[in-house]
Amino acid sequence: MKKHYWWVGGVAVLQILILGLLYFNWPPMVLTLLVPESEKPAWQSLITLFEAQHPKTKIQLITAKNLGGFLTKQLKEGTCLPKGSPDIVYLDVIWVPEFAVRGCLQDLSKRFVPKMKSQFSPQAVRDGEYLGKSYRIPFRSDMGMLYYRSDLLNQAGYQHPPETFTELIEISKTLKQKQLVEWGFLWQGDQYEGKIATFVEVLRGHGGYWIDEKTRQVGLDQPQAIQAVQFLRTTLKSKVSPANVLTFSEDESLAQFRAGKSIFLRHWPRARSFLADDNNGAVKAVPMQLHTPAHQGGPCNGSWGLGIAKKTQHADRAWKAIQFFTSEQAQRQFTQETQFVPSHKAVLKQDSPEIQQAITKAIFRPRIPEYDQASEILQAALSQALNPDTSDQEAQSIMKTAAQETRQLLNPPS
């Protein structure tokens, strides 16, 4: 009997040795992640940390330029496919409903337990939900900001940045007359999602709305929407904004502002990393909340988060990676490198009070499955309506047509 036990024990030890050898020699599992090219260095740092803690999991980082939503288009073409799609899906808040309805993302409701949810603000949690289910875990917050040169503002006799659209125009004209700047206000006017973000902020400040998510009513032909379009037209007509702002994305508008061409710039929080040392620290920022006297404004919500592709074969490993990337440690490092606004409450406390307040006032673009088509309709309409050769009457007609097309999109005839 003892010899039998010895033999059984020897087999058991041999099996353990074989399993150990297989474990240490088995190639690591590879997950894929697609991120904007501009964020590559910061993501690579996080991935290095993650892989050090999880040596049997590797993450292949894929990058793409995100101008005009190109990254999202790549995701939309690949995420629902069995092959060629990222295992971990990094996406903007506006795409959650469409990706959920198309079955591109896994329902994370059972994984995203209350204890983990409590680490983020309620709004950040809601950003990743659709029809009561969680599809995306908060990674970074984002909202429109109004940057300004405090030194030039003081030289012109102003103590505070503008709060209303009228003040923005008046201050800009004063500084131009004093030849302190070439332009007053830079924004994103090219035909892409940046133009939409700018417009919804101006629209909210005039008391208007684009699409009501609950009723699916469209407000693009309402007086407030027409007034919002007229404000942007006014910035061009009065030369407060340059004519070529209609070709600007974030990069061009930031470059012009850094060159001292303008006193005001509409951009995102990450611009802080480029502007912190400019003009001896004279560049300041407040949330984009310009408004008319009768209404309140709000910054556009541009938050990003992480989901798991529906057809990945490695959901558990992908979840481990998401847990790490959204942890306090990872978000602290990422925001230090990028100046993005974190979603984790413990890290967010270190940001400015203005940023923390802006997050609570951030406004949504309509969270609907048809967002892509609705955005394309509005982008095209704004490009026509803001054209200098378009008359005020024609601009109003263009917005009415856009409203009709959007209603047909949301409520097609049966």
Under the banding of pLDDT at 50, 70 and 90, the label for residue 69 is low
Over range 170-193, report the average pLDDT: 95
- Residue 95's pLDDT is 93
Listed by start position, the domains of the chain span: 27-142+302-361, 145-300+370-410
Q: Which residues touch 207 (CB under 8 Å, ≥6 apart)?
A: 224, 292, 294, 295
Q: Which residues touch 326 (CB under 8 Å, ≥6 apart)?
A: 119, 137, 138, 139, 306, 343, 344
* Whether the domain at 27-142+302-361 and the domain at 145-300+370-410 fall into the same CATH topology: yes
Give phi and psi for 305, each to the nearest 5: -155, -175
Which CATH number is 145-300+370-410's, of 3.40.50.970, 3.40.190.10, 3.30.1130.10, 3.20.20.70?
3.40.190.10
Considering the chain, what is the average pLDDT of its residues?
A: 91
Under the banding of pLDDT at 50, 70 and 90, the label for residue 56 is very high
Least confident interval from 66-75, 254-263, 391-400: 66-75
Over range 231-243, report the average pLDDT: 97
Angle at 188 between CA 185 and CA 193, to 5 degrees: 155
pTM across the whole model? 0.90
> How far is it, in rounded angstroms, from Cα 189 to Cα 257?
15
pLDDT, tens digit, 9 for 90 and up, residues 305-343: 999 999 899 999 999 999 999 999 999 999 999 889 999
- Residue 387's pLDDT is 97
What phi-psi label fits residue 126: left (phi over 0), alpha (psi between -120 and 50 degrees) or beta?
Answer: alpha
Is the pLDDT at 185 greater than 60? The verdict is yes
Residue 11 or 267, more confident: 267
- Residue 279's pLDDT is 80
Is the pLDDT at 240 greater than 70? The verdict is yes
Say if domain 27-142+302-361 classifies as CATH 3.20.20.10: no
- Residue 78's pLDDT is 62
pLDDT > 90 fraction of the chain, expressed in percent and rounded? 76
Q: Note whether 308 and 107 are within 8 A (CB).
A: no
Closest CA to 66 of 34, 19, 99, 26: 34
Enter the tokens of residue 188: 């994103």
Over range 290-310, report the average pLDDT: 96
Over range 394-413, report the average pLDDT: 96
Over range 277-293, report the average pLDDT: 91
Partners of 341 in the beta sheet? 141
- Residue 12's pLDDT is 59
Q: Note whether 387 and 247 are within 8 A (CB).
A: no
Under the banding of pLDDT at 50, 70 and 90, the label for residue 46 is very high
Is the pLDDT at 219 greater than 70? The verdict is yes
